[in-house]
Amino acid sequence: MINLSLLLVAMSALHGGAATDDLQSKFLSPPDNTKPRCYWYWMDGHITKEGITKDLEMMRRVGIGEGYIGVISGQSGLPATPDAAKALSDEWWGFIEHAVREGTRLGVDIGLFNSPGWSQSGGPWVTPQKAMRYVTLPEKRLTGPQHFEGKLPVPQGDFQDIAVLAFPVPEGEGVVAKETARTPNSITFELPEPFTARSITVYPIQKVKVTAELQSSTDGQQFTTVKKFDIDRHNLEINVGPVPLAPIVASFPATAARYFKLTLSEACELGEVQLSPAARVESYAEKTLVKMFQDPLPPFDFYSWAAQPEVDAANLAVKPETVVNLTSHMSPDGTLKWDVPAGDWIVLRTAMTPTGTKNSPSPPEATGLEVDKMNRAALKTHFDSYVGELLRRIPASERTAWKHVVADSYEMGPQNWTDDFAADFSSRYGYDPMPWMPVLTGRIVGSADQSNRFLWDMRRMVADRVAKDYVGGLRDLCNEAGLKMWLENYGHWGYPSEFLKYGGYCDEISGEFWVEGSLGTIELRDAASAAHIYGKPIVWAEAFTGGPAFVNTPRDFKARGDWAFCEGINQFVLHVVIHQPWDDKKPGINAPW
């Protein structure tokens, strides 16, 4: 037993010594798979083959293993001069071909962003029918009995019809209290007799961010708080929602009073304010993804809402069984023929309209609509039009350096519908979404709880399909072409999916951190967490982005990099190498981040 123990100790010592020697040799001469990579931005069409070769020679000399080509416009401070290469031209594609061939020759691998710009996946080849879309619901009110034959309202933009639906008008619809006084920070409603209110809807007309308090009174002297809520439309970019000035809706238990007053925390100019007895889904614009958190990263509970009051009478809600599908009654030109039953009816012409988001920041000639993130067929068209073009131009034997297709952090906002959404919804959840579509207008269908559950199902499906069909679809297309997909598994500015699931469908996963500030605290942990869940041993980070010029030293960078490693990442993609096309123009091309 003693001899056996001594033997095991000796073997362990020998093994430990070998491991130490191996570690030391790899530290002195790191293997290729440990080399950092870099973003390699080509700015405003200022490109030369000589500059490409020198950039790649520099990367090899300093130990960078791969450069991710990003085609960027409007960020260098230099105009696009007449001799600048036009994106997507034969000359321009020739530069990318040259980079791939030179990378193969020099032993520096190449990655390519999946579209021009750094975000996200779009271009002039994306038609409205293949773009990110959201539901628009123009409506018409009819009274029966009558035979109606006429045109329905036309949805906005380049639309595709979904369905035509009709339902009886709920109680309280169209009734609003008339305001009697307005100042820059208050609105007063004085009624001749008690008025029962259940909701208030604010229609902004410009940027605004204030808190609001609705109060009621029976005598005009003593007021009681009914509801406090935020009126926030401070960011009108479509990246945070395709309806920039979406209405703000607050709901509350039925309150009867002769006097109501809406007080604002700051003076501002609002459009119409509707105080109504109608029941409404609170914050329905946010819940339907047409207006999302308006800054880069939401707090963890932003998309969690408190339960709202239930309707206090059944006739305030749309009964799902009373919703009639009239799609077959409408001709392609929008003419509806229908024998309207007795009573007042609302007809919804539901349609899909492009959100309008475009890939950015890319050259104008290479900019177009963002592709549908829940449609693999549309994604294939996008892939074939950009990545596929390079695949067709270079024989496989001459592009062995090309390893990755890149998808940067998601910044292109939400969508809430696609071509097969209704059928897939029914398959997933076991019920037809069509009777619940009036919820997308803010109306209650069934009950407040059921309406909010429907919207949760809808958001969950959007999150799942963006992950599976966009990330998973892009990964599958890359793999079929012998490439890997490198992904930053999170988003800013209206991101509609879920970080961990989103990161589960890529080949290689990355976080991000900037030289200064808080950006990175969430992004690095999300990437590391997803990597742990899905068994990905390497966790990349877009490293050292941004920061002011001439104030940081290598020592500062090291401290920041060490922190990033402690957050769970283990490889860097350095941000950023800017392509330098000339030797005779000083100080060269730069970027603001």
Q: Which tens digit of pLDDT belongs to each residue from 437-454? A: 999 999 999 999 999 999
Judge whether residue 456 has pLDDT over 70: yes
pLDDT at 146: 98
Local confidence band at 373 (pLDDT 50, 70, 90 cut-offs): very high
Question: 200-204, 318-322, 495-499, 516-520 — which is least confidently predicted?
Answer: 516-520
Local confidence band at 499 (pLDDT 50, 70, 90 cut-offs): very high
Cβ burial 363-382 (10 Å sphere, 16+ → b, else e): bebbbbbbbbbbbbebbbbb
SS in 3 state form for 451-478?
HHHHHHHHHHHHHHHHHHHHHHHHHHHH
SS in 3 state form for 299-336?
CCCCCCCCCCCCCCCHHHCECHHHCEECHHHECCCCEE
Instruction: Give me the residues paired with residue 197 across strands.
Output: 255
Question: 72-76, 109-113, 166-170, 456-460 — which is least confidently predicted?
Answer: 72-76
Average pLDDT over residues 68-92: 91
Query: What residues have CB less than 8 Å from 280, skipping those under 6 apart?
Result: 198, 199, 201, 249, 251, 442, 443, 444
Judge whether residue 401 has pLDDT over 70: yes
Q: Is residue 262 a contact partner of residue 213, using CB atoms and an 8 Å limit?
A: yes
pLDDT at 186: 97
Give Cα 402 to chain centroid, integer Å: 28
d(CA 104, CA 91): 20
Residue type, 64: I
pLDDT at 579: 98
Judge whether residue 11 has pLDDT over 60: no
Q: Note the pLDDT tens digit of each residue in 185-227.
A: 999 999 999 999 999 999 999 999 999 999 999 999 999 999 9
pLDDT at 586: 84
- What are the chain's domains? 33-129+361-435+463-578 (3.20.20.80), 135-354 (2.60.120.260)
Judge whether residue 540 has pLDDT over 70: yes
pLDDT at 12: 56
SS in 3 state form for 393-445?
HCCHHHCCCEEEEEECCECCCCCCECCCHHHHHHHHHCCCCHHHHHHHHCECE
Neighbours of 229 (CB within 10 A): 19
Tell me whether the omega of the peptide bond preceding residue 576 falls within 30 degrees of 0, making it cis: yes
Q: Note the pLDDT tens digit of each residue in 114-163.
A: 999 999 999 999 999 999 999 999 999 999 999 999 999 999 899 999 99
Burial (Cβ within 10 Å: 0-12, 13-18, ≥19) of residue 584: exposed
Classified as helix, coil or strand, 103 is helix
What does DSSP assign to residue 177?
B
d(CA 592, CA 546): 7
Query: Distances from the Cα of 543 to the Cαs of 150, 407, 563, in angstroms?
Result: 60, 16, 11
Judge whether residue 383 has pLDDT over 60: yes
Radius of gyration of the chain (CA): 29
Assign residue 523 a region (left: φ > 0; alpha: ψ between -120 and 50; beta: otherwise). Answer: alpha
pLDDT at 520: 93
Q: Is residue 120 a contact partner of residue 408, using CB atoms and an 8 Å limit?
A: yes
Average pLDDT over residues 560-575: 97
pLDDT at 76: 84
Instruction: Give me the residues paired with residue 134 across strands.
Output: 353
Give Cα 163 to chain centroid, integer Å: 26
Q: Is residue 412 a contact partner of residue 372, using CB atoms and an 8 Å limit?
A: no
Helices and strands in the chain, H and E counts: 12, 19
Local confidence band at 5 (pLDDT 50, 70, 90 cut-offs): low
**CA-CA-CA-CA dihedral for 51, 56, 57, 58, to nearest 10:** 90
d(CA 492, CA 296): 5
Judge whether residue 299 has pLDDT over 90: no
Judge whether residue 19 has pLDDT over 70: no
pLDDT at 13: 53
pLDDT at 478: 99
Which residue pairs from 391-399 have beta carbons closer than 8 angstroms and sit at least 24 positions apart in sequence? 391/481, 393/93, 393/97, 394/97, 394/100, 394/101, 396/482, 398/100, 398/101, 398/104, 399/100, 399/101, 399/104
**Token reading at 564:** 């990033």
Average pLDDT over residues 170-177: 95
Local confidence band at 17 (pLDDT 50, 70, 90 cut-offs): low
Local confidence band at 67 (pLDDT 50, 70, 90 cut-offs): very high
SS in 3 state form for 516-553?
CCCCCHHHHHHHHHHHHHHCCCCEEEEEEECCCCCCCC
Q: Note the pLDDT tens digit of each residue in 465-487.
A: 999 999 999 999 999 999 999 99
SS in 3 state form for 361-375?
CCCHHHCCEEECCCC
* pTM for this predicted structure: 0.94
Calculate helix-pair angle for 421-429, 448-465, nearest 10 degrees.
110
Residue of higher predicted confidence among 184 and 8: 184
Average pLDDT over residues 45-65: 98
Local confidence band at 273 (pLDDT 50, 70, 90 cut-offs): very high
Query: What residues have CB less than 8 Å from 54, skipping those under 6 apart?
Result: 580, 583
Judge whether residue 307 has pLDDT over 80: yes
Q: Is residue 320 a contact partner of residue 446, using CB atoms and an 8 Å limit?
A: yes
Local confidence band at 6 (pLDDT 50, 70, 90 cut-offs): low
d(CA 512, CA 38): 13
Local confidence band at 496 (pLDDT 50, 70, 90 cut-offs): very high
